[in-house]
Amino acid sequence: MAVQGEGIVAREVRGAVAPEPLVIDEPGPGEVLVRVQASGVCHTDLHIRNGAIASLPMLLGHEGAGIVEAVGPGVVQPRVGDYVILAWRAPCGTCRFCRIGQLHLCAASLNGQPRQHTPAGEFPPPIMGLGTFATHTVVHANQAVPVSPDIPPAQACLIACGVMTGVGAALYTAGVRPGSSVAVFGAGAVGTSVIQGARLARASKIIAVDLAPQKLAWARTFGATHTVNPAEGDPVEQIRALTDGYGVNYAFECVGHPAVLEQVLACRDLAGVATLIGVAGHGSTLALDLSRFFDLGGSLRVSWYGDCLPTRDFPLLVEWYLRGELLLDELITRRIALAEVEDAFQAMERGETLRSVIGF
Ligand code: NAD
Ligand code: ZN
């Protein structure tokens, strides 16, 4: 039977969002219906609402955790009642990347059919095939990863996007090595998670770079050993001053701005690895001094979702949280209701929050 619920659809570029009634149809073959218990507000939702990266309308929310309430025909796992974190990557196992063992690059990631619709029968596409700014969603069974019920929903949902992306970018994309030096530009939820990944990898120097003094103070909680505020002078020079004039082994862009990527490339030591995580708007370009790029060596990598495999990594990150090694409580700066997402977007634009988490 269809479920009556509500959700948030971005309809106009920069237009204020508010909950509206939604009908959620039964799961089809291979799909599961999830009652969303918590959803984090990621900057990618805001980019979409602001019209920077995709066309509207779109049903927002892609950082969710909840309970499986119904399963469609043929679903063996998860089961009704399972507590799950929702993934926007569910490798198909058969595409050209999966076939050569690169499941983290899957080019045909599994999604459910759109089943959340307005009472009038409009199906706004759910962002990343999830649509978790809603009381319920229907996803492919492989997108719903069972985890220990010992982690509360508000913490669990953070693993679904921002935390997994940041930790994975440090551990998998860049492969931060023990004793190395790291600079992280943008100390929001993604950036502080890169900082945690670097801490878990036993980096020696972890430099957080952000314009907001409060973000720099929070970054220290997550493992930053030094902080740099670009408002106080060229961040590249400040990073050099902290690294005997050399620059860092690993630098991360967690903002989504070409000028920041230039700084990320420039603050590296010889053979340094730059990792782009931030999502820049359409039409953003980068001017690259090729001779300097060559002389410095190293590489520029792009990290999609921290190169994670959700079925391997979600339970692992939950385990680290339960052992006290991965901080998640400290990321929740606001607990909000669905009706407060617009306020959360505005607070994010003002740089006031790490994560606002919607509780249902
Ligand atoms: P956020 O808004 O919480 O954090 C961004 C931070 O950047 C803020 O703390 C802000 O103060 C800081 N900042 C802004 N301009 C800056 C500058 N010039 N120099 C230094 N810091 C600056 O956002 P978030 O949710 O952490 O997401 C960060 C980025 O990562 C976004 O672009 C988002 O779309 C992207 N993202 C990418 C992936 C992926 O798979 N690659 C996944 C999730 C999010
Ligand atoms: Zn996200």
pLDDT of 124-154, one tens digit each?
999 999 999 999 999 999 999 999 999 999 9
**Low-confidence stretches of the chain (pLDDT beneath 50):** none
Cβ of 207 closer than 6 Å to ligand 1, yes or no, is no
Q: Is the CB of 116 under 6 A from ligand 1?
A: no
Ligand nearest to the CA of 190: 1
pLDDT given for residue 121 in this prediction: 97
What is the Cα–Cα distance from 42 to 64, expressed in whole angstroms?
Answer: 11
Q: Is 87 in the pocket of ligand 1 (CB under 6 A)?
A: no
Does any ligand 1 atom lie closer than 6 A to the CB of residue 255? Answer: yes
DSSP notation for 233-295: S-HHHHHHHHTTTS-EEEEEE-S--HHHHHHHHHTEEEEEEEEE-S-PPTT------HHHHHH
* 305 CA: nearest ligand 1 atom: 40
For residue 306, what pLDDT is reported?
Answer: 98
Q: pLDDT at position 285, please?
A: 96
The residue whose CA has the least distance to atom 31 of ligand 1 is 278
Instruction: Give 138-175 as a 3 state SS string.
Output: EEEHHHEEECCCCCCHHHHHHHCCHHHHHHHHHHHHHC
Residue nearest to atom 4 of ligand 1 (CA): 188
**What 3-state class would DSSP assign to 100?**
helix
The tokens describing 110, both together, are 């599994």
CB-ligand 1 contact for 303 (6 Å cutoff): yes
Q: Which ligand is nearest to the CA of 189?
A: 1
Distance CA 187, CA 277 (A): 12
d(CA 314, CA 318): 6
3-state secondary structure of 128: helix
Distances (CA, A) of 118 to 25, 55, 343, 346: 11, 18, 23, 26
C-beta of residue 351 within 8 angstroms of C-beta of residue 186: no
CA distances from 4 to 66, 99, 202, 216, 340 (A): 17, 40, 48, 43, 20
Q: First and final CA of the chain: distance in angstroms?
A: 21
Question: Is 209 close to ligand 1, i.e. is its CB under 6 Å away?
Answer: yes
Q: Does the beta carbon of 328 sit less than 6 angstroms from any atom of ligand 1?
A: no
Whether 40 is in the pocket of ligand 1, judged by its Cβ within 6 Å, is: no
pLDDT score for 11: 97
DSSP string for residues in 56-99: S-EE----EEEEEEEE-TT--SS-TT-EEEE-S----SSSTTGG
Pocket test residue of 41, 43, 260 for ligand 1, highest count of atoms within 8 A of CB: 43
